[in-house]
A and B are shown apart, each in its own frame.
Chain A
Amino acid sequence: MSRTTLEAFIRSKAGGTPRGDRESELQARKDVWLKRVSRLYADVRKWLADLERDGVLRFDLDKVALEEREIGQYDVEVLTLAIGKQQVAFCPKGTLIVGADGRIDIQGQRGVRTIIFSGGRWHLVTRTPKLRLLPFNEDSFQDVLSEVMR
């Protein structure tokens, strides 16, 4: 067994990253996650800026408490679009998820679509007929709205 392999083996048996490092990594991850959420909200507002200016829709930002097992409780912003009598909300679900660096559920009165952050960008998750990731952008957001709104 080479020295590198031995070290990796012992580290795996020791339970991974030391506790202090793990906590700071998680805090850093949470901070990055919150910035990504804010940036996404800014993009969404930009996509719909004309409609907001014309009074067709309204944006509301509310802080809610999010609990993630290893990170603990922290505040995160929920962006809500008020369109006519309907609302569509971007509800962050957390950064500690399987296979990606963060997830937001977009909830409307007719349904929910999930977007995830992975590989430096946001993706729309499609599960049927099989798992697919599509870029989340102005065009796909229009599809999402038509699916989650009545």
Chain B
Amino acid sequence: MKTNPDRPRLEDVWEQYQVTRDSIVQAAEHTKGSIAFASGTTHPRFFAMSLDEVEEFFRARLDETDRQACLSLVASAEAALCVDFWERVHGRKKDPVSRAFRGISRIPCAHGRLKVRLDEHILQTWAEMVPQAKARVGELRGALKYRHWLAHGRWWVPKFGRQYDPTGLLRIITELFKKVKLTAL
């Protein structure tokens, strides 16, 4: 399996999120400032909107930006864990996790090689072999359900048991990576 060196890292995703969010906040302030006595031009889409409507518009954009960032953050974490998996498989490292990963990569299946799955193979191995990472693995597994909901168009009403936001997701991911000593972010 050849890995992509240009994949977006967590810090790339976070930077993109921050820049987008800052731009939206700035645009909101500019638009709100154009109401009443302040001068300045605004996009025609805001014409005749009240302050509440402008705020609601930008609140919705920020919420959507948060959701897109959540999706990208979990996708980036998935990429980092998969790249680490294949580096351990190909690098022939001797530690127990690398040995376990190699064992998984050799499991035969009906159509050739087994398709390595993030949850049941990679995360499960980390949870079993690094007990101190188990709680963090559980948190990321919960976040994967959220990612799944986002990636599939949010067509059903989900029950997650907790709220997800980019800051919380970044914490979940970085804490897991610390526990499993994954540095290739």
Contact = CB atoms under 8 A, between A and B. Distances in A.
A68 B51 contact: yes
A25 B45 CA distance: 27
Interface in A12-34: 16-17, 22, 25-26, 29
B34 A16 contact: no
Given A25-B37, A98-B34, A98-B35, A69 B48 contact: no
Given A96-B51, A97-B50, A99-B34, 7 more contacts: A16-B38, A97-B35, A97-B48, A98-B34, A99-B42, A103-B50, A116-B48
Contacts of B49: 97-98
Contact of B48 (A22, A70, A100): A100
Contacts of B48: 97-100, 103, 114, 116, 125
Interface residues of B, number: 17
27 contacts: A16-B37, A17-B37, A68-B50, A70-B36, A70-B51, A93-B50, A94-B50, A96-B35, A96-B50, A97-B35, A97-B49, A97-B50, A98-B31, A98-B47, A98-B48, A98-B49, A98-B54, A99-B34, A99-B42, A99-B47, A103-B50, A114-B48, A116-B47, A125-B48, A130-B44, A131-B44, A131-B45
Nearest to A125: B48
Nearest to B47: A99
B51 to A, nearest CB: 5
Nearest to B33: A16
Contacts of A69: 51-52
B46 A98 contact: yes
Interface of B: 31, 34-38, 42, 44-52, 54
Contacts of B35: 96-98
Contacts of B38: 16
A118 to B, nearest CB: 9
A101 B38 CA distance: 12
Interface in A57-71: 68-70
Contacts of A16: 37-38
Q: Which 6 residue pairs across A and B have the least CB separation, nearest first?
A: A131-B44, A98-B46, A99-B47, A69-B51, A98-B49, A96-B36
